[in-house]
Amino acid sequence: MFGFSSFSSLPFSTYQITVSPRPPGGDDGGHWTKEERKRYKALQKKLRIAEEKRIEALKADAENRKKTIADLVDPPKPSKRNKNKVQSNQEVSVDIPSNLANIDRYIANLVKQQQDLQAAVALREAKLRLEQELAIIEARRQAELDDEEALLLLL
């Protein structure tokens, strides 16, 4: 680099080009589009609702566990109507995934969608940074070529 910016055919000095890094993340200055921000907020809302349902399911599960244990320790008295009937103590066990497991899978899916959205925004920001750096390098290359041409004309 010779530093002869007065011979440059560019309408601006190469030293005027700056690349300002963006902080990573959501609404704090990143390059989020309106649709991405809307989608991210919708995912946050769904995640918040799913977490509330998970807490309710945990409470219900704990209550059912307490009731089951209480019934095992102190079985409920049979009603008078069923006293003459023959009772069967067989229970049918069906392998149905619990509501809590379904909620956990749903929450994991929402978190993955949020991470994918954040990764897409980060990739786009990285692409923009690379394009800016490429523009700076190209402007500097053009300035050097112009400087070299000007020196050759002076000789």
Task: Kindly write down the DSSP assignment for every residue of 6-32, as one continuous string.
Answer: GG--SSS-GGG---PPPPSSSTTT---
| Of 124, 136, 116, 140, nearest in space to 32 by CA | 124
Across 7-11, 128-132, 147-151, which has the greatest mean pLDDT?
A: 128-132
Task: Give the dihedral of Cα atoms 76, 80, 85, 86; nearest 10 deg.
Answer: 30
Closest CA to 42 of 134, 113, 122: 113
Q: What is the pLDDT of residue 11?
A: 47
Sequence-ordered list of residues with C-beta below 8 angstroms from that of 48, at least 6 positions apart, any chain: none
Task: Return the pLDDT at 100.
Answer: 83
Over residues 49-101, the pLDDT tens digits come to 999 999 998 888 888 888 888 888 888 777 655 555 555 555 544 445 678 88
Q: In whole angstroms, how far apart are CA 70 and each of 58, 88, 93?
A: 18, 20, 20
pTM attached to this predicted model: 0.54
Residue 91 carries which DSSP code? -
Residue 110: closest CA among 60, 54, 45: 45
Predicted confidence band of residue 148 (pLDDT cuts 50, 70, 90): confident
Amino acid at 26: G
